[in-house]
Amino acid sequence: MEQQCARKLSAILSPHDQTAKNELLQSFMYNTSDGIVIMDLEGRVLAVNHAFEFMYGWSSEEVVGKILPTTPPYQMVDSMVLHHKTLAGMKVNDYKTCNLRKDGNLIHVSVTISPIKNSQGNIIALIGVERDITAHKNAEKRLFERGDDSRQLLENSLEPIIVYTEYKIVYANPAAIDFIGAKHRENVIGKYIFEILPHHFIDDLVYNENASKIIQNKFVRMDERIIDVEVKAIPIHYSGKPSVQLLCRDISDRKKVENSLYEAESLYKNVVENALIGVYICQAGKTIYANLSLAKMFGYSMEEFMEIQPSELTFEEDWAELFEDARNTLIEPESKFRFHIRGKKKDQSVIYLEGSAIPIINKGEPAVFVAILDVTYKKESEDLLIESAQRYQALVKFLPEPIVVSVDGLILYANLSAMKMVKASRDQDVIGKSTFDFVHPEYHEASRAIMRDVLQTDEPFSFQDRKIICTDGEVIEVEISSIRIHNYMGKMATLSVIRDLSERKRTEESLIQSEKLSVVGQLAAGVAHEIRNPLTSLSGFCKLLKSRFGDQVSYIDVMLNELDRINMIVNEFMTLAKPHITQFTNGSVNEILKSVMSILETQAILLNVNMETLLDESIPYVYCEENQLKQVFINVIKNAIEAMPQGGNVTITTAKSNDGYVCVRIIDQGKGIPNEIIDKIGGPFFTTKESGTGLGLMICHQIIESHQGFLHISSKIGEGTTVEILLPVFSTNL
Beta strands in 363-474 (DSSP E): 365-374, 403-407, 410-414, 464-469
pLDDT interval class at 18 (50, 70, 90): very low
Other beta carbons within 10 Å of 126: 22
> Among the ranges 233-237, 590-594, 727-731, which has the highest mean pLDDT value?
590-594
Distance CA 290, CA 81 (A): 62
Distance CA 213, CA 232 (A): 6
3-state secondary structure of 703: helix
Burial of 248 (0-12, 13-18, 19+ CB in 10 A): buried
3-state secondary structure of 214: coil
Output Rg (C-alpha) for the chain, integer angstroms: 63
Does the pLDDT of residue 733 top 50, yes or no?
A: no
Does the pLDDT of residue 647 top 60, yes or no?
A: yes
Query: Is 613 within 8 Å of 633 (Cβ atoms)?
Result: no
Q: Which of 466-475, 593-602, 658-667 is the least confident region?
A: 593-602
Q: Which amino acid is at 638?
A: K
> Among the ranges 324-338, 357-371, 600-614, which has the highest mean pLDDT value?
600-614
pLDDT average, residue stretch 357-370: 80
Does the pLDDT of residue 17 top 50, yes or no?
A: no
Find the angle CA(188)-CA(113)-CA(116) to the nearest 5 degrees.
Answer: 160
- How much is the pLDDT for 101? 92
Closest among 41, 121, 130 to 83, alpha carbons compared: 41
pLDDT interval class at 668 (50, 70, 90): very high
| pLDDT tens sequence across 141-156 | 665 555 555 567 777 7
- How much is the pLDDT for 577? 53
Question: Helix 626-642 vs helix 696-706: angle between axes, to the nearest 10 degrees?
Answer: 140
Query: Is 200 within 8 Å of 193 (Cβ atoms)?
Result: no
Does the pLDDT of residue 333 top 90, yes or no?
A: no
Whole-number percent of the chain with pLDDT over 90: 4
Does the pLDDT of residue 665 top 90, yes or no?
A: yes
Does the pLDDT of residue 157 top 50, yes or no?
A: yes
pLDDT interval class at 103 (50, 70, 90): very high
Q: Which of 67-76, 325-334, 644-653 is the least confident region?
A: 325-334
Query: Is 614 within 8 Å of 653 (Cβ atoms)?
Result: yes
- How much is the pLDDT for 515? 59
| 602-630 b/e (C-beta count within 10 Å ≥ 16 → b) | eebeeeebebeeebeeebeebbbbbebbb
Find the angle CA(116)-CA(117)-CA(122) to the nearest 5 degrees.
Answer: 135
Distance CA 682, CA 639 (A): 13
Does the pLDDT of residue 34 top 50, yes or no?
A: yes
Mean pLDDT for all residues in the chain: 79
Give 729's DSSP letter.
-
Q: Which amino acid is at 696?
A: G
Instruction: Count how many Cα atoms sit within 13 Å of the Cα of residue 60 in the half-sphere of its side chain.
Output: 13
Helix spans in 88-230 (H): 134-145, 149-156, 174-180, 199-203
Higher pLDDT, 198 or 88: 88
| pLDDT tens sequence across 264-323 | 556 666 666 666 788 888 887 777 888 888 888 888 888 888 888 877 888 888 878 777
Integer angstrom CA distances of residue 499 from 478, 480, 579: 5, 7, 37
As a three-state string, the secondary structure of 152-189 is: HHHHHCCCCEEEEECCEEEEECHHHHHHHCCCCHHHCC
Instruction: End-to-end CA distance of the chain: give it in Å, rounded.
Output: 137
| pLDDT tens sequence across 178-229 | 888 888 888 888 888 887 777 766 766 655 566 777 888 888 888 888 888 8
Distance CA 472, CA 264 (A): 74
- How much is the pLDDT for 518? 59
| pLDDT tens sequence across 462-509 | 888 888 889 888 888 888 888 888 877 778 888 888 888 776 666 666
Is the Cα dihedral 478, 484, 490, 491 positive or negative? positive
Other beta carbons within 10 Å of 730: 10
* DSSP, residue by residue, 524-593: HHHHHHHHHHHHHHHHHHHHHHHHHHGGG-THHHHHHHHHHHHHHHHHHHHHHHS------EEE-HHHHH
Q: 660 in the Ramachandran plot: left (φ > 0), alpha (ψ -120 to 50) or beta?
A: left
Distance CA 730, CA 660 (A): 8
Q: 681 in the Ramachandran plot: left (φ > 0), alpha (ψ -120 to 50) or beta?
A: beta
pLDDT average, residue stretch 437-456: 87
Q: 682 in the Ramachandran plot: left (φ > 0), alpha (ψ -120 to 50) or beta?
A: left
Beta strands in 345-400 (DSSP E): 350-362, 365-374
Does the pLDDT of residue 88 top 50, yes or no?
A: yes
3-state secondary structure of 130: strand
Burial of 127 (0-12, 13-18, 19+ CB in 10 A): buried
Whole-number percent of the chain with pLDDT over 70: 77
Find the angle CA(162)-CA(163)-CA(164) to the nearest 5 degrees.
Answer: 120
| pLDDT tens sequence across 373-396 | 888 877 777 776 666 656 666 666
Q: Which amino acid is at 273?
A: E
Does the pLDDT of residue 725 top 70, yes or no?
A: yes
| 661-679 b/e (C-beta count within 10 Å ≥ 16 → b) | bbbbbbbbbbbbbeeeeee
pLDDT average, residue stretch 54-69: 89
Distance CA 500, CA 418 (A): 10
Distance CA 148, CA 718 (A): 139
Closest among 590, 625, 618 to 706, alpha carbons compared: 625
Dihedral, CA of residue 188, residue 189, residue 190 and residue 196, to nearest 10: 30
- Cβ neighbors of 103 (< 8 A, separation 6 or more) are 57
**What pTM value is reported for the model?**
0.33
- How much is the pLDDT for 370? 85
- Cβ neighbors of 398 (< 8 A, separation 6 or more) are 415, 416, 417
- How much is the pLDDT for 598? 76
Distance CA 70, CA 353 (A): 84
> Among the ranges 294-298, 398-402, 688-692, which has the highest mean pLDDT value?
294-298
Other beta carbons within 10 Å of 544: 11
Distance CA 298, CA 508 (A): 69
pLDDT average, residue stretch 321-328: 73
Higher pLDDT, 117 or 513: 117
Closest among 97, 103, 62, 69 to 82, alpha carbons compared: 97
What number of H helices and E strands is found in the chain?
Answer: 22, 27
| pLDDT tens sequence across 106-128 | 899 888 888 888 878 888 888 88
Query: Is 243 within 8 Å of 165 (Cβ atoms)?
Result: yes
Other beta carbons within 10 Å of 109: 24
Higher pLDDT, 415 or 651: 651
Distance CA 14, CA 10 (A): 5
Strands 609-614 and 648-656, bridge-based pairing: parallel
Residue 493 host element (H or E): strand 491-500
- How much is the pLDDT for 431? 87
Residue 250 host element (H or E): strand 241-250
Instruction: Count how many Cα atoms sit within 13 Å of the Cα of residue 298 in the half-sphere of its side chain.
Output: 29
Does the pLDDT of residue 727 top 70, yes or no?
A: yes
Residue 328 host element (H or E): helix 316-329
Does the pLDDT of residue 5 top 80, yes or no?
A: no
Closest among 468, 460, 458, 400 to 435, alpha carbons compared: 468
